[in-house]
Amino acid sequence: MYSVTRLVKREGKLLTIAGLWPNPAVDVLNIIISGKKLSKVEYSLVNTAGLIVGEKYGQPVANNQFSVNVSRLRPGLYLLVITDPATGEKMVSRFIMQ
């Protein structure tokens, strides 16, 4: 199951979250990014109150795929905000924590 993805476009460049699974998540969230090839990303996990409940800088990316450990999150709705550190482009997707 995939979630709705919001796109943010900046200076004609476009990155998207092509896949995010499983949704609902239990312990690990897998992400695929389409667009240009990335080697590292930054990400934040944001709860419905707008609080950042997890973040990482310099997350390695292999073949535009990476995983996030979400096992410590409480059940509920969250936003995953991914940033390309080289350009500042952001991608946002929602997921549910079971």
- Give the pLDDT mean for 13-35: 92
Tens of pLDDT, residue by residue over 33-87, are 998 889 999 999 999 999 999 999 999 999 999 999 999 999 999 999 999 998 8
Q: What is the pLDDT of residue 89?
A: 92
Number of domains into which the chain is organized: 1
For the CA atoms of 77, 40, 83, 13, the dihedral, rounded to the nearest 10 degrees, stands at -130
- For residue 62, the domain's CATH number is 2.60.40.1930
Is 60 exceeded by the pLDDT of residue 10?
Answer: no
pTM of this structure? 0.84
Which domain range does residue 85 map to?
5-97
